[in-house]
Amino acid sequence: MTTIPGYELLPSPAELADEHPVPARLVDQIREHRSEITDVLNGSDGRVLAVVGPCSVHDPVAVIDYAERLAKSAEPLKDHLLVVLRAYLEKPRTAVGWKGLLHDPWLDGSEDIAGGLRVGRRFLIMAAESGLPLAGEFVEPMLAPYLSDLLSYGAIGARTVASQSHRELASQLPMPIGIKNGLDGDLSVATAAIHCARTAQRHPAVSEHGALVVRSSPGNPTAHLILRGTSAGTNYDPETVDAAIEGLRATKSLDRVVVDASHGNSRKDHRRQPGVIADIAGRIACGERGIAGVMMESFLEEGRQDHPAPYGVSITDACLDLSSTMSVLESLADSVRMGRSVVLG
């Protein structure tokens, strides 16, 4: 790696992909997963999306362990839920702090981004071997080309929803993209972001060879809203969901939403997540069709601790343990089955 004062040259996305190629069978699997998620979001597949996993990946070995256990436990639910592994390698920050595996893979403040990209790509390939679709949040647009080929679902977070570069990125990504409402809860900003992401764009981007180019993107018809709560409280109540859907219809956007059971909707208390999902499940059981999916923060063990944490414990947001997570998912799957009966009459 060449180093000059103040700079470190990163490998290009193509060079990293050559170092850590994706096996052909996983390429086919990822393509199929993207199609399945799209069908769930637009309602042509009657299942509900469930994006679950740790707040952020700090221990790849533990997350692979989690993924394998989750895949096995979720197999009986596959007719009712499409379970996606939350595999977030970047951590957005309002202030300073650990910015995720891509930025600081060794958890020592070294900011070894080249190392983080390599560790991150190896991890995603191994995680895909679990058979689960993978979800990631795009925090730094310039890093997206290094890993986006391995993800089946992407998210734009509450802190970047108003960013033009993130909206442009969402328009070019070849996967369903969930866009969260901002921290203040103003749904119009997220609705505008979704409309922009669905629209053809011409914008600067990093090519697979690491060059700065002007990219023409066709727009992403799968861009959709994630309700994640606000800094003041929750926003998954029926009135807010209905208002959100009306706003999406006004811009001819995908008119179904995903509800994040964590963050503002749990009032930052991970133990409230099952209650949020239970509320959503009850509405789905009664025939609610406007909610396409849910998100939960979950890991092998409950809670969080600062680094160094015990095996399977989050070092960022607190999580549900896997056993509790499966209980929640099983109840949600039952509700999807009941809701399908109501809709079919």
Whole-prediction pTM value?
0.96
Give first-to-last CA distance, the chain, whole Å: 63
pLDDT at 4: 63
pLDDT at 342: 76
One-character DSSP codes across 203-222: EEEE-TTS-EEEEEE---TT
Closest-CA residue to 80 (of 341, 336, 281): 336
- CB–CB of 63/19 below 8 Å? no
Q: Distance between CA 113 and CA 205 in Å, rounded?
A: 19
- CB–CB of 169/143 below 8 Å? no
Find tokens 């533990």 and name the residue. 62
Question: Strand (E) positions, the chain?
Answer: 3-4, 7-8, 48-53, 81-86, 134-137, 153-156, 177-180, 201-206, 212-217, 224-227, 257-260, 291-299, 320-321
pLDDT at 171: 98
What are the pLDDT tens digits along the chain (345 aa)?
A: 555 677 889 999 999 999 999 999 999 999 999 999 999 999 999 999 999 999 999 999 999 999 999 999 999 999 999 999 999 999 988 778 899 999 999 999 999 999 999 999 999 999 999 999 999 999 999 999 999 999 999 999 999 999 999 999 999 999 999 999 999 999 999 999 999 999 999 999 999 999 999 999 999 999 999 999 999 999 999 999 999 999 999 999 999 999 999 999 999 999 999 999 999 999 999 999 999 999 999 999 999 999 999 999 999 999 999 999 999 999 999 999 999 887 665
Q: What amino acid occupies position 34? A: R
For residue 198, the number of C-alpha atoms closer than 13 Å in the C-beta half-sphere is 19
Closest-CA residue to 111 (of 96, 101, 119): 101
Those residues whose C-beta lies under 8 Å from the C-beta of residue 203, and which sit 6 or more positions away, are: 165, 168, 171, 214, 215, 217
Superfamily of domain 13-344: Aldolase class I (3.20.20.70)
- CB–CB of 8/54 below 8 Å? no
- CB–CB of 311/300 below 8 Å? yes
